[in-house]
A and B are shown apart, each in its own frame.
Chain A
């Protein structure tokens, strides 16, 4: 009996089960975790440090008691709060709109059979891949010609509701004249979201039982009834996937906001634009910048942490 087996006996461990390949495997996996989390970890640590502290200590080390501060976060929240509200008022309606339209289109293109259908489907799917630069100038021309503010003058500038939020006080969720450019963004995002939402819903509707739909149709149900009574209720899981995916995409967009919101900033600025302005200054206050990045990313991070599996599905569905 070797020494090794002796030790193993005493400890009650079977050393042969500890496969060196598995050790290397887990070592690699953990090393990769460090790589993927390091920008976030050092960002969070930096955001909790005073200026004197972050300039002198290694970025990934937690702050010392003296160097700890929450001020970067309060500055970031103050600066970004209105932009985040704008982003919510943009992303929520645009997400719902593009998911609904995608569901309609997918139903019309999947559960019916007609000539030329595939051509239409191809046009929808090709729309996923266009580089947005190819439509930017027409978009800016279009929204310069269509004066949403003028068109919607009677309904803008009304308070939707106000809520008491602890810490922040009374928050009035109101549409303001600048909301016109957010409405332009909503329409734009809804339109450019349709191709991907159609693809996602179509992959799902292809798997629906045709017998069931056929039976309903033979019973004299109209296409609308079939959609409302059968297809829509069955789509709930796919709506979850699509809403999560689209919300992330729209929240994260910078390009359309740069082009469609006049002069890019001001009261209608969305979170990505406000964050870019916060971090674009000459003075390199990295602690505030990092706090700003976390504040602006918070909604998508929350969505990801809560619904990670559905997000992954949306991602894989895009492939």
Chain B
């Protein structure tokens, strides 16, 4: 009973204090509610010795220092950011953390800022199309590579290769790929007689005509964002492939056999037997890809500088521009909070699902 109480106290303590403080706290609160359930001789010695044996205390020297460092930088910084977003911090003046002056002005400003809505729209376009296409591409690659081919390692290594490059390097390569006069894409298109398709991929667009009557749909659809998505697809589909391959390999061979004996065609086998079992792979790859999409800042920054323009601006580039170029620190913080909430909306259900299935 006593041990349980202690364990509970220690368990709750996990939020941040260090081990020795936890011991003091535990003992103090025990003494505070003095004679409650355990009246059979309260003994500080036994408390201390059972504490020493308690797993939480024994393990604390290992997990607590990393936890404090990580907790400070991750959760401390997020909290700090939220607080800054309530202030009017801008320019060279230092922020004043006066709770009475906190307000939601920066969020109101965002809601009435056309740029913010464009960036939000682009963020979702990027998030959904990039994730969907990468998953589809990665699944296709995984199925091809999983067909018992020769030189499998070579193919796999080449498809995953772009993933090891930085966004900066990828952006430098693709700016050259998309070059109008002598980039690979246009040279290739002209080479196979499709001259009319050769375009200014990073600056051009097509007229949308009647479609632009729909709200938030522009008159000309610029290629910019799609050029970005295509390049990112090149970089990340290999990642999705690796995740799917692991999923495919985890399916027992006899299921393939059974489907074959039943006379199912290959397509049917994949649709009925294999794909449903890849749900877990899909979910985890999708979450990671979405997080990468939210981090696509580096790529856009190298391609277009800190203002990619209304058709390719996403929340992360807008946040950086407002804060670090325009010195609108509080406004930047508010945009960052929105971005964080988007990420949370993606990740929280995933983590909860993992928790429910006991996979954390």
A interface list, Cβ under 8 A from B: 25-26, 28-29, 32-33, 35-40, 42-43, 46, 54-56, 58-60, 101-102, 104-105, 107-109, 111-142, 188, 190-192, 194-195, 198, 223-224, 227, 248, 251-255, 258-259, 272, 275-276, 279-280, 284, 286, 289-290, 292-293, 296-297, 300-301, 303-304, 308-309, 311-312, 315-316, 318-319
From B62-70, B109-117, B204-212, the one touching the partner chain is: B62-70
Closest to B280 in A: A319
Q: Is the CB of B67 within 8 A of A105?
A: yes
B176 within 8 A of partner (CB): yes
Contact code string B215-248 (vs A, CB < 8 Å = 1, else 0): 0000000000000000000100011001100100
List residues 177-195 of chain B with CB under 8 A from any CB of chain A: 177, 179, 181-184, 187, 191
B70 interface neighbour in A195, A280, A289, Cβ under 8 Å: A195
Cα-based distance from A29 to B112 in the complex (angstroms): 49
Q: A113 — nearest CB in chain B belongs to which residue?
A: B55
Interface residues of B (CB under 8 A from A): 7-8, 10-15, 54-56, 58-67, 69-78, 80-81, 84, 95, 141, 144-145, 147, 149, 153, 155-170, 172-177, 179, 181-184, 187, 191, 234, 238-239, 242-243, 246, 281, 284-285, 287-288, 291, 294-295, 297-298, 301-302, 305, 315-316, 319-320, 323-324, 329, 332-333, 335-337, 339-340, 342-343, 346-347, 351, 355, 360
> How far is A194 from B63 in the complex, measured between Cα atoms in Å?
11
Residue of B whose beta carbon sits closest to that of A127: B74
A272:B165 contact, CB within 8 angstroms: no
A253 pairs with B166, CB closer than 8 A: yes
Chain A nearest CB: distance from B65 CB in Å? 7
CB–CB B160/A315 < 8 A: yes
> B340 contacts which chain A residues (CB < 8 A)?
130-131, 133-134
Structural contact, A59 and B166, CB atoms closer than 8 A: no
Report chain B residues within 8 Å CB of A42.
Answer: 176-177, 184
New contact pairs (5) apart from A109-B62, A258-B320, A296-B166, CB-CB < 8 Å: A39-B234, A120-B63, A131-B340, A136-B332, A138-B77
Asked if B183 and A59 make an inter-chain contact with CB atoms under 8 angstroms apart, the answer reads yes
Q: Are A60 and B184 interface neighbours, CB within 8 A?
A: yes
Q: A191-B73, A315-B242 are in contact. Are A121 and B360 (CB under 8 A)?
A: yes
Contact A108 B71, beta carbon cutoff 8 Å: no
Majority SS at the chain B contact face: helix
CA distance A308 to B162 in the complex (A): 12
Asked if A114 and B360 make an inter-chain contact with CB atoms under 8 angstroms apart, the answer reads: no
If the complex has contacts A114-B54, A134-B336, A290-B173, are A296 and B168 also in contact, measured as CB distance less than 8 A? yes
Chain B proximity of A252: nearest CB distance (Å): 3
Q: Find chain B residues with CB under 8 A from A25 CB.
A: 144, 147, 149
Do the beta carbons of B343 and A255 come within 8 Å of each other?
no
Contact at B336–A136, with CB atoms within 8 Å?
A: yes
State the CA gap A135–B83 with chains docked (Å): 12
Residue contact A105 to B246, C-beta cutoff 8 Å: no
In angstroms, Cα B145 to Cα A6, docked, is 34
**Which of chain B's residues has its CB closest to A55's CB?**
B182
Asked if A39 meets B174 with Cβ closer than 8 Å, knowing A125-B360, A127-B74, the reply is: yes
Complex-state Cα separation, A125 to B184, whole angstroms = 41
Complex: A35 Cα to B161 Cα, angstroms: 12
CA distance A109 to B70 in the complex (A): 15
Q: How far is the CB of B225 from chain A (nearest CB, A)?
A: 18
Q: Tell me if B69 and A194 are in contact (CB < 8 A).
A: yes
Cα A293 to Cα B170 in complex, Å, equals 8
User: What's the minimum C-beta distance from B53 to chain A, rounded to whole angstroms?
Assistant: 11
Check A311 against B155 for contact (C-beta < 8 Å).
no
Q: Is the CB of A137 within 8 A of B333?
A: yes
Residue in B64, B161, B182, B332 whose CB lies within 8 Å of A58:
B182
Bound: A319/B278 CA distance, A: 13
Contact: B173 with A43, CB < 8 Å? yes
Tell me the bound Cα distance from A311 to B239 in angstroms: 11
Contact of B155 among A29, A293, A297 (CB under 8 A): A29
Report B-chain residues with C-beta under 8 Å of the C-beta of A303. Answer: 164
Q: Tell me whether B319 and A133 are in contact (CB under 8 A).
A: yes
A273 to B10, CA, bound (A): 45
Within the assembled complex, what's the spacing in Å between the Cα atoms of A32 and B11?
Answer: 52
Contact B11 A115 (CB under 8 A): yes
A292 to B162, CA, bound (A): 16
Q: Which residue of A lies closest to B95 (CB)?
A: A141
10 of the cross-chain contacts (CB-CB < 8 Å) are: A32-B141, A36-B158, A60-B184, A112-B59, A127-B74, A129-B343, A272-B168, A272-B298, A297-B166, A301-B164
In this complex, the member of B169, B184, B187, B243 whose beta carbon has the largest number of chain A beta carbons within 10 angstroms is B169
Residue of chain A at shortest CB distance from B185: A38
Contact B176 A138 (CB under 8 A): no
Minimum distance in angstroms from B85 CB to a CB of chain A: 9
Contacts of A102 in B (CB 8 A): 66
Task: Name, among A39, A60, A102, A248, the residue most crowded by chain B CB atoms within 10 Å (CB to CB).
Answer: A39
Are the CB atoms of A122 and B360 closer together than 8 Å? yes
Q: Please, how many angstroms separate the alpha-carbon atoms of A39 and B227 in the complex?
A: 14
**Shortest distance between the CB of B322 and any CB in chain A (Å):** 10
B189 to chain A, nearest CB (A): 12
Identity of the chain B residue whose Cβ is nearest the Cβ of A272 in the assembled complex = B168
For A192, list chain B residues within 8 Å (CB).
Answer: 70, 73-74
The listed residue (B71, B81, B173, B337) touching A293 by CB distance below 8 A is: B173
Chain A nearest CB, measured from B75 CB (Å): 7
A contact residues around B329 at 8 Å (CB): 137
Q: Are A297 and B169 in contact (CB under 8 A)?
A: yes
Residue of B nearest to A144 (CB): B94
Contacts of B182 in A (CB 8 A): 54-56, 58-59
B7 cross-chain contacts in A, Cβ below 8 A:
114-115
CB pair A252–B166 under 8 Å, yes or no, is: yes
Residues of A near B164 (CB, < 8 A) are: 248, 300-301, 303-304, 311
